[in-house]
Amino acid sequence: MKLSKKDVTLNEKDALQDILDCEKLLMNYYAAALTEGSCKSFRKEILKNYTAQAETQFRAFEQMLSRGYYEVQPAAKMMIDQNAEKFSNAQKQMCAHA
C-alpha cells in the first residue's frame, strides 16, 4: 500500500532533522559550485549564497539544540590540542611540497 502525503506526518524532531539535513546538503552543493566556479562574478554570488546558507543551517541547528534534539559533547582540551597539532603538521607538509 502506497502512503500519500496526507498519511505521513512528521513530528517536530523529525521535521527539524529533515530541515537540518537539507541545509547541510545545500551547503555541500554551494561548496562544490564555489570550488568549480571559474568566473569571478559567479564565485562572488555563490560565496554570498553559501554564507547565507550557512546562517540558515546554523539556525536550524540552534532550534534542534534548544529543544534537546541535538546533543553536543564538549571536546576535551587534549583532543583539541592533538587535532590542532595534526592539522598544523599537515599544513607544514603541504607547504613543504609547494
Handedness of CA 53, 59, 60, 62 (dihedral sign): positive
* Global confidence as pTM: 0.68
Q: Identify the CA nearest to 23 among candidates 62, 58, 74, 73.
A: 58
Judge whether 97 lies within some domain.
no
Judge whether 35 lies within some domain.
yes
Judge whether 59 lies within some domain.
yes
Judge whether 90 lies within some domain.
no
What does the pLDDT look like over 45-86, one tens digit per residue?
Answer: 999 999 999 999 999 999 999 999 988 888 888 888 888 888
42 conformational bin, left if phi > 0, alpha if psi -120 to 50, beta if neither = alpha
Judge whether 3 lies within some domain.
no
Angle between helices 12-36 and 40-66 (to 10 degrees): 160
Give the residue with greater pLDDT, 83 vs 8. Answer: 83
Judge whether 2 lies within some domain.
no
Q: Where are the alpha helices (DSSP H) in 1-98?
A: 12-36, 40-66, 77-97
pLDDT of residue 88: 83
Judge whether 95 lies within some domain.
no
Domain of residue 37, residue span:
10-72
Judge whether 80 lies within some domain.
no
Q: How many domains does the chain have?
A: 1
What does the pLDDT look like over 15-47, one tens digit per residue?
Answer: 999 999 999 999 999 999 999 999 999 999 999
